[in-house]
Chain A
């Protein structure tokens, strides 16, 4: 049985039960014996008849080129759950039937998961449309789900439409975004078995409609109202959770969204309901099936290893905005604050979880404040979805690759290729072998032409193979179906096949056209169309959709190569992936030789062209011309000439000119990017700006500014001056502390770490100071490195930035210079300044002046008595006056100097604190935001300190009027 849901206009949901479907292929006669063999297996216990049918079908394996078809057995079993068992029995080699000898069988397509199998067989694509003909289905009386209509249909009567023309429409999907707040105990991150859920905010939107359908907040205890939203107050948490569960069932959303709902909100609610013994709660899906939770681990080359919670909710897609962003965007921080600032231009107030309990325990007004906060967190994911066009892009991707939409955020690239491969294979009656995974097989990767590191002040043309790997596969017909096995060559004429540079053999397209080339052609054709549409489109939003689509198609095309090379994949084929990279390496070399030979003085050019760098699919050519225009023209000419030497569809294109160009190392360079002669498009940096969080923002800002000065203003001297100034600022304690903050997540408690780590040790120390606001497990710990004693270990020198500000603790300048700034700066400046870079930048005159800050905490400070010194000459004064009797003549001047600073602080104070009011969207409420990601978070604390100190000094002047 399979449940498909398809929207039949607004509000009507149809459940279709497809009967008599399941499949695996193998041998006919052994139906009985196989049944017997299965009987002894645990998985088959509940079935009276396991193997329903075995038939012979004429098919072909997709692996290796072969002529003509062979008979295969198609085994139909009673349940998809039996498939792995059948596969195991057959492949182990113990199985024997009839008179035939015992042998190991190879199975085909038995390792394909059922959903994909079914969708491929019926031609259904993710987010696609189906139709049922009258008379071919039956309406169910006793419904098994919460859908309004339920229909039974045989699987071969299901009509699925390709997502074209009218079937491109997107149904009016109901999207529910929600966010929960929990009452945490002091200093502890909320735990579901102990801490109450106090609020749940819900916002529903119909896809494509600008207004929200409703906003409703469930709250514990009486809460004052919010205009435009409904507040439902509860005395008991159980009642609230029960009602929320029915809200899900009643409003019946197609898509559940929110920020981190998959790993936090949903599991928390589920666990909380379990802790409260709410039996009726975990029924959140569309069927009457109980909602269950499990842990999943997802590993992929592209996304790394990730542990997720997974909650099965039949009929509802969980579309977690955080997960989408993890996949699609590389960001410095993924907190909702910084994400909404980045994409919506809106800083979000951030309330620390210890403060949340405080608000809940106040009165109905403080609870309303919390509700407003909670509601905003439910609205933001919807706005992000809208802004980033996630949903539309994902629907497009699901349709192109044919997989269910939920796979796109929970699975890797492979499943998409498998789905497409199987669809194509089916058309050609090919079968995909279920191969056992072999060990890691290594093959040579892409090539890199050794960079000639320098700062190039002449234009550098970049020539680029468009879709290099896909076009190699297409040009040389590289595919499983065209691969020649060791003995296969003898049956063919030499002109019917090719030998790849890696020594593998493939038949040419006229003998048999490969599946992979066909898939790639379709993807690239669709991409060309999307790109053409993109050019025509005026509407900026639709432009983004189309851009998203063409990127998705490009990614899909590139992942085909990756699929053949994935050694732990479903169908790795080193012959293909190895050949592809071998061709790529060869071609880059050919381009270099050709360009350098052709564009030379011998051939009538003013200079000999030099290829200064090349990587994978691009080469950078220095034609030694003065203008961008000449460089573009020569680049285009070179691309054309080279392309003519390669088989279709391989195409070398002129991509851009870098002018000037700073080549630091492999995959590390920066330049001004020109596609037209007169104006640059942007500043392009590769491998330089660091998004790593264990770097402080000072590094990124400094590097960025330097690159701008070097490339845009073309003033490396000014860049050097700027670096010196910043280093001098750092030494004189003039750098804003937020720029020095380093952040790490507290993932384990102290004892779980084998080596002591700075942020963990600090978290422990903060807990001793104030358990309430100290970071707990899962929080990010921001810290700065402070100057300690020589013997102190590095991990002991981390300190809370706020504590540093309040106690005037000096930072460890040496650490920041040597550990943070030195390497990235030298990388940039060495190509420009050569060997003297280090000496000049880090040991020049500018490093001689230093401000020593005297700490107010620790050490001997508590025993020291502080006496005022003269503002003019620093001599110790008896009283509280501002200046000594010698400096009294200069009192006006000294006052003016101090008051000038006071003015700056005053201005800063009012701008920063009014900004916080703007972000929290209230003038009358105190700012309680503790968003440490925010640029001004530390500044606003610092400015209070500065202002109070300066006011005190001004006060001393005012006392000294008897001048």
Chain B
């Protein structure tokens, strides 16, 4: 007999209480914590730290790939001689937003609407290290896909007039994920982002359905059984609704943050009673905006914070659950790169950041980040692939297995729940990945005539 919502109470067979699966969670976010904040240092130090942190691996790539040792610096290039150089990319873009233009020109004009993308045909690449800048002659595809800040190694030859003809371009070698300890039984990790609790247009029904499901109050027995195996929930940003709504040219505040924070606290408190939750800040949360975003201020969540099941973490964050390594962001890195490259495929962008060995190359250029100084190792560099790598608040759910060699990494675009009412379930045993949608007829476009709670498992 099927046990689902359509069966009569009589058909419901009493069953043993389900036990919530436990897991071993550890947060490794220390690298993303900024304890004392100083602002007298400049951004140049980040780029130098980036080069310092990644140079050795770029050199390894070059020797393995082309059998050449890169030059010490760009300045030592000899015109006409084939050579190999290391540096960070700078993409020269005319359309790149400029604060100077906005401020000093007619700053009373109606501001241009933000563009979806800032790329154009005339963009070109420059390679830069501590010594020099060098204009590159590359394939269009490189110009299209690369963005400012990506550390690369290049083989090619400098032509006259100071431009460098690129033969081939490569990135830092990266270690595969650690071999993980096998997990015998199904054990789920739930990833969700963009809940937008407490907003003016928030669809409370689907939020309620989500929490009912998670706590075993919704769905049938089978659903509850599966849900009981969810050992951990990661909220990858934007638990709280954006207080601003764009109306015409102005951003108008529609709801008070205070209210939405408190609504979110209530909502969260219901989740943390029966689940381990990791909360990453996103752009909407009241907290600092530059990456890495620091854990949210606990006194803002008086109801939830008393539970030890709630973990306040940074964004980006790196953690481990039962030996599975996770690395992820609330999505700002992907959103930002998206604006400065031509590709529409966000999964490709997510994958690129792994290939580049850098989570957020456009920081600080177009993505604001803390001005790290020499004494820090740049935390956005990826030394080793995680088992799971995700980005939150994306327009749609997608996943992919990235396997350069050996162990594979599961890449996930975690969708914005407020747009698609979908969250993501990952089976930690085998890294299988599914979406789970809570579309309701109340807010769907009306084409949804089937089961009001489609569960695509």
Contacts and interface: CB of A to CB of B under 8 A. Distances in A.
A924 B264 CA distance: 42
B122 to A, nearest CB: 14
Counting chain B CB atoms within 10 Å of each CB, which of A893, A923, A948 scores highest? A923
B98 A921 contact: no
A226 B108 CA distance: 41
Interface string B172-201: 000000000000000000000000000000
B187 to A, nearest CB: 33
Contact of B103 (A225, A895, A935): A935
A910 B161 contact: no
A906 B299 contact: no
Nearest to B89: A923
A224 B163 CA distance: 17
Interface in B134-160: 134, 148-149, 158, 160
Interface stretch (A470-478, A495-503, A592-600, A911-919): A911-919
B326 to A, nearest CB: 26
A365 B129 CA distance: 12
A307 interface: no
B48 interface: yes
Interface string A202-229: 0000000001000000000000111111
Contacts of A900: 257, 286
A925 B74 CA distance: 14
A491 interface: no
Interface string A919-948: 101111111000000111001000010011
B299 A914 contact: no
Interface stretch (A25-33, A83-91, A955-963): A955-963
Contacts of B40: 944, 948
B258 interface: yes
Interface string A267-280: 00000000000000
B368 interface: yes
A927 B42 contact: yes
A705 interface: yes
Interface in A874-916: 891-893, 895-896, 899-900, 902-903, 906-907, 909-915
A368 B75 contact: yes
Given A917-B43, A922-B133, A227 B158 contact: yes
Given A368-B75, A923-B47, A935-B100, A226 B132 contact: yes
Interface string B50-80: 0100000000000000000000001101010
Contact of B300 (A365, A892, A927): A892
Contacts of B261: 892, 896
B248 to A, nearest CB: 15
Nearest to A899: B286
B88 interface: yes
Contacts of B300: 892, 895-896
A924 B129 contact: yes
B236 to A, nearest CB: 19
A228 B159 CA distance: 9
A228 B162 contact: yes
A948 B133 CA distance: 32
B99 A227 contact: no
B375 interface: no
Contact of A914 (B38, B108, B366): B366
Nearest to A912: B99
Given A227-B77, A896-B261, A906 B290 contact: yes
Contacts of A847: none
A917 B44 contact: yes
A911 B132 contact: no
A705 B162 CA distance: 45
Contacts of A851: none
A205 to B, nearest CB: 13
- Max chain A CB contacts within 10 Å: which of B44, B96, B101? B44
B395 interface: no
A899 B287 CA distance: 6
B281 to A, nearest CB: 11
A958 B37 CA distance: 13
B39 A963 contact: no
Contacts of A891: 299
A935 B48 CA distance: 28
A704 interface: yes
Contacts of B262: 892
Given A227-B132, A909-B39, A914-B364, A902 B288 contact: yes
Contacts of A368: 75, 131-132
A913 B38 contact: no
B103 A936 contact: yes
B445 interface: no
Contacts of A923: 43-44, 47, 88, 90, 128, 148-149, 365
A63 to B, nearest CB: 53
A578 B244 CA distance: 68
B42 A228 contact: no
Contact of A936 (B99, B164, B290, B364): B99
Interface centre among A910, A911, A957, A963 (most CB of B within 10 A): A910
B162 to A, nearest CB: 2
A227 B107 CA distance: 38
A701 interface: yes
A921 B43 contact: no
B376 interface: no
Given A708-B108, A918-B98, A906 B288 contact: yes
A6 to B, nearest CB: 32
B400 interface: no
A347 interface: yes
B298 interface: yes
Contacts of A311: none
A895 B44 contact: no
B226 interface: no
Contacts of B90: 923
Nearest to A923: B47
A954 B104 CA distance: 31
Contacts of A934: 100, 104
A918 B38 CA distance: 22
Nearest to A909: B39
A961 B298 contact: yes
A708 B107 CA distance: 12
Contacts of B368: 906-907, 909-911
A704 B108 contact: yes
A892 B299 CA distance: 6
Nearest to B290: A906
A891 B74 CA distance: 53
Most buried by A among B79, B96, B99: B99
Given A365-B131, A924-B129, A948-B38, A936 B365 contact: no
B237 interface: no
Contacts of A909: 39, 290, 368, 371
A596 to B, nearest CB: 38
B297 A958 contact: yes
Contacts of B286: 895-896, 899-900
A122 interface: no
Given A227-B132, A896-B300, A914 B365 contact: yes
A261 B207 CA distance: 71
Contacts of B37: 948, 951, 955
B36 to A, nearest CB: 8
B288 A910 contact: no
Interface of A: 211, 224-229, 341, 345, 347, 365, 368, 701, 704-705, 708, 891-893, 895-896, 899-900, 902-903, 906-907, 909-915, 917-919, 921-927, 934-936, 939, 944, 947-948, 951, 954-955, 957-958, 961, 963
Task: Give the 6 A-B residue pairs with the shortest CB-CB distance, closest first.
Answer: A228-B162, A910-B368, A227-B162, A935-B104, A911-B99, A903-B289
Given A227-B163, A910-B43, A915-B100, 7 more contacts: A225-B75, A228-B160, A228-B163, A704-B108, A900-B286, A944-B40, A957-B299
9 contacts: A228-B161, A892-B297, A896-B286, A899-B287, A903-B289, A915-B99, A917-B44, A923-B47, A923-B148
